[in-house]
Amino acid sequence: MIAVKNLLSIEDLVVRFYTYEGVVEALDGVNLNLREGETLGVVGETGCGKSVTSLSVLLLVPPPGVIERGKVRFVDESGAVNLLEQDEAYLRSMRGRDISMIFQEPRAFLNPVYTVKDQISEVLMLHRREELCQRALQAIERDMESGKANVFAPLEKAFFTTMFNDPESDLVGFLLKIPIVRRLNRRLDKEIRGEIVRLLKEMGMPDPERIMNMYPHELSGGMAQRVVIAMALACGPKLLIADEPTTNLDVTVQLQILNLVRELKQKFKSSIVYVTHDLGVVAELCERVAVMYAGNVVELANVMEIFKKPLHPYTRALLESIPRPGHEFKSIEGTVPSLINPPKGCRFNDRCSNAVEKCLREKPRLVEVEKEHFVQCHLYPGGS
């Protein structure tokens, strides 16, 4: 049997927010791993740390949040690297190219004063400029060979050769300020427009030529979400983080987006971290599930194992709170604790009917209770 490698490994991740009200202990030693080619669901109640975990992978935790300690190992071309130790230049080159994120609210993510074309082309020019310049060069050479080239063709060829060899050179920046040279950039613009049309078609957009000239306020919720997904997948990333991408969409559009994510995973061969509070989505889309509560991963297992044999009291309570025909509906007693002053020991102890004295004073460890089934609970051997 071929061993599946981990594409992403999060080890003992601690994130705190230093606010005027106190220190919010948002993540309290999160341990998580994502395998190559899989879809991992991250579920839990609002405020459990799902989104903060996702933002920590890209080092985008907003202030006053601080990543206190931990490791976020990601496998790139050079091997496994700890993203928390990398400089900003590496992170900028990695975001969008190797790891992309679909944010919760697409309208908040899209800039209202730029068209769809402007916003997708920014991603393309940042990470795929060499490829697009090479396409432009090949088109110029074909025109010159066929005799269809205009008088500017030699100058165009020299311009794109310079841009291809050194896209960040001062010479390129200077030339683009000259009006007659800016005209030569239309060839690159044509390649960019063609790539954007292709991306929007893959997103299921019916009229991509029209849509790419629209502004975000002119798009429906489903269209805006598809644009954000197109931006995230523009460079074929290894890892896609989807942070509740169907929030605030009606059920019909939700189904379309979920089907789109499934199809695109097969096409781009990406691994996906799917953050949601909807266990129905998890059952439909994911291979494994991580259940989070109050800044901790309390259970991690295969999706069928979680639904058939949940081990952690919180996971069982979460499944029992889903309305189902023939099953008694049970709400989870109590409320999610404040993370400014969380409970000592297990953070679920004040809502757990199985809590023992040790739960009130010692935090349990995440241990493998059954094969590939991990639980953070004192009720199981090794948890203490």
- Lowest mean pLDDT of 93-97, 116-120, 239-243, 334-338, name the range: 334-338
**DSSP reduced 3-state for 32:** strand
Q: What average pLDDT does this structure show over 22-43?
A: 93
What the block records as the tokens of 366 is 């995440």
Contact in structure between 227 and 106 (CB atoms under 8 Å): yes
Q: What average pLDDT does this structure show over 148-169?
A: 66
Pick the more confident residue, 40 or 106.
Answer: 40
Is the confidence at residue 171, as pLDDT, over 50?
A: yes
Residue 333: φ, ψ to 5°: -65, 150
What the block records as the tokens of 56 is 């920590």
Is the confidence at residue 52, as pLDDT, over 90?
A: yes
Q: What is the pLDDT of residue 20?
A: 92
Mean pLDDT for all residues in the chain: 85
Q: What is the pLDDT of residue 300?
A: 95
- Lowest mean pLDDT of 82-86, 88-92, 104-108, 274-278, name the range: 104-108
At residue 322 the predicted structure's pLDDT band, cuts being 50, 70 and 90, is: confident
H helices, E strands: number in the chain: 15, 12
Contact in structure between 67 and 12 (CB atoms under 8 Å): no
User: What predicted TM-score, i.e. pTM, was given to this entire model?
Assistant: 0.86
Q: What is the pLDDT of residue 374?
A: 94
Question: How many Å apart are CA 313 and CA 318, to the nearest integer?
Answer: 9
- Lowest mean pLDDT of 26-35, 102-111, 166-175, 247-256, name the range: 166-175
Is the confidence at residue 1, as pLDDT, over 50?
A: no
Question: What would the pLDDT profile of 252-275 be if each residue is shown by its tens digit?
Answer: 777 877 888 888 788 778 899 999
